């Protein structure tokens, strides 16, 4: 049984001294125990603060190949999510299964280096570039899972359902890799994936992910949501990310996306609305009443010009908010957490918008929960907190890192959430096994080298 001891350990909402973590052979925590009760075989993490692992609830791992490639004006009169999407399609159509593995492994490496221990992968690349189904319809999903496992992360493969380009929209050849035309095909492939993952339920599992109202017709959506309910699976869906999505939904169904989901009984505690930017107070009430969650991705949302997630309204409704790196424009959940607050400060021209009270650490604790326990709840993981019988998933920060040096135990969480970057992260442990030591991953050089080769071959 391994044990770990840092200078400070974040437990029960505060940093505590002299508190170690004892792990079982299974990789779960057996207990948090005083330093004096820990045996001689302890992994001492000197000058470190130890925190529960971060959970990235919304990722498109392959989109890491786009970083730095879309930051220019196109010939369109107005650049937006929709023009960016065309460039994304161009990349997606040219990736082989091994390319997807290499791109995903690069994303997951960056996640590990930043303290992320589990990821919800919103995966929609299923077919060959010409739309042909592989002999194994989950070939590409398994490449992504293999990448996560090789890096050492837990992964929820949120298998995306995608049936059409949109309501009364002609088929888009660039979406050929996404399409599974009916719910029967989708569920057969999902069940096959679940069976293949049955041997590693704590490390990799599947969830249901109807892409959006525009991409999945209502009856298809209801069928797969029913399957998720019968099997207790998480359901993730892009909801109200773009005004055009809302207009199309009203044209087709006479209701907004949230109103449609609510009226059809599709919202519940396992449902996560990804983005949920363009929502009304009534829509927020519907989501809150169903105990649904929201996953915000502030870095991507600002990169694409999507808008600002109304996190204040969601939190006022006692909703949980998870965080995601989405398009991988940046992979840093500290940044996602602080921008959830900072975007509202710009919009409202006031400070501490999301603070639950006037305590010194209340705001930071609320944002940190978004990056940990709320993310875990969203993707169906057991981590996100340091408690007995929970996974031994955690990371450390260097107390002498320039971004947080000098912070007291009382102010340290605030310094980390609002000031630290991933360079402060020194150790990462998943299931009691160390995957990052002194800020480096054992396979880092090889992963980076292969990704650099992919970028050269993809972009010339």
Residues catalogued as catalytic: 275, 326
Q: How far apart are CA 232 and CA 270, in angstroms?
A: 8
Which residue, among 443, 391, 432, 8, has the nearest Cα to 205 in the 3D structure?
Answer: 391
Question: Got the DSSP string for 308-374?
Answer: ---HHHHHHTT--EEE--BT-S---HHHHHHHHHHHHHHHHT-S-TT-SSSSSSHHHHHHHHHHTHH
For residue 401 the two structure tokens come to: 């890192």
**Contact of 100 with 142, CB cutoff 8 Å:** no
CA geometry: angle 20, 150, 202, nearest 5 deg:
60
SS3 393: coil
Name the CA radius of gyration of the chain, rounded.
Answer: 21
What string of DSSP letters covers 24-55?
Answer: -TTSBEEEEEEGGGS-S--EEEEEEEEEEPEE
* Enclosing H/E stretch for 90: helix 81-92
Residue 130 Cα distances to 125, 180, 410, angstroms: 12, 13, 57
């Amino acid at each position: 049984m391994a044990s770990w001891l840092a200078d400070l350990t974040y437990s029960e909402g505060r940093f505590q001294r002299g508190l170690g973590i004892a792990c079982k052979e299974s990789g779960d925590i057996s207990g948090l125990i005083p330093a004096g009760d820990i045996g001689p075989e302890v992994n001492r993490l000197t000058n470190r603060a130890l925190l529960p692992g971060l959970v990235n609830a919304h990722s498109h791992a392959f989109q890491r190949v786009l970083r730095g490639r879309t930051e220019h004006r196109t010939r369109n009169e107005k650049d937006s999510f929709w023009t960016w999407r065309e460039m994304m399609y161009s990349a997606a159509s040219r990736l082989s299964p091994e390319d997807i593995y290499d791109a995903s492994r690069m994303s997951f490496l960056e996640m590990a280096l930043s303290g992320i221990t589990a990821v919800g992968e919103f995966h929609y690349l299923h077919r060959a570039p010409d739309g042909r189904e592989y002999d194994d319809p989950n070939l590409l999903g398994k490449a992504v899972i293999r990448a996560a496992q090789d890096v050492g992360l837990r992964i929820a493969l949120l298998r995306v359902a995608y049936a059409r380009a949109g309501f009364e929209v002609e088929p888009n050849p660039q979406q050929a890799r996404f399409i599974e035309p009916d719910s029967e095909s989708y569920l057969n492939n999902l069940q096959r994936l679940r069976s293949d993952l049955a041997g590693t339920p704590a490390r990799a599992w599947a969830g249901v992910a109807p892409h959006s109202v525009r991409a999945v017709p209502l009856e298809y959506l209801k069928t797969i949501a029913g399957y998720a309910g019968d099997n207790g699976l998480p359901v993730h869906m892009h909801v109200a990310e773009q005004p055009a999505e809302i207009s199309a939904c009203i044209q087709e169904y006479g209701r907004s996306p949230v109103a449609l989901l609510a009226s059809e009984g599709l919202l519940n505690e396992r449902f996560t609305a990804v983005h949920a930017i363009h929502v009304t107070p009534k829509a927020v009430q519907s989501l809150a009443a169903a105990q649904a969650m929201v996953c915000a991705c502030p870095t991507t949302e600002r990169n694409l010009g999507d808008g600002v997630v109304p996190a204040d309204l969601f939190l006022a409704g006692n909703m949980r908010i998870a965080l995601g790196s989405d398009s991988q424009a940046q992979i840093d959940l500290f940044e996602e957490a602080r921008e959830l607050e900072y975007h509202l400060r710009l919009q409202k021209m006031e400070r501490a918008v999301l603070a639950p009270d006037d305590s010194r650490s209340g705001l930071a604790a609320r944002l940190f929960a978004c990056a940990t326990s709320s993310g875990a709840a969203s993707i169906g993981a057991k981590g996100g907190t340091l408690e007995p019988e929970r996974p031994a998933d955690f990371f450390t920060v260097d107390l002498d890192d320039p971004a947080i040096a000098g912070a007291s135990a009382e102010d340290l969480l605030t310094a980390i959430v609002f000031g630290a970057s991933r360079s402060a992260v020194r150790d990462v442990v998943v299931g009691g096994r160390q995957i990052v030591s002194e800020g480096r991953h054992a396979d880092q050089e090889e992963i980076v080298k292969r990704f650099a080769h992919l970028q050269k071959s993809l972009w010339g």
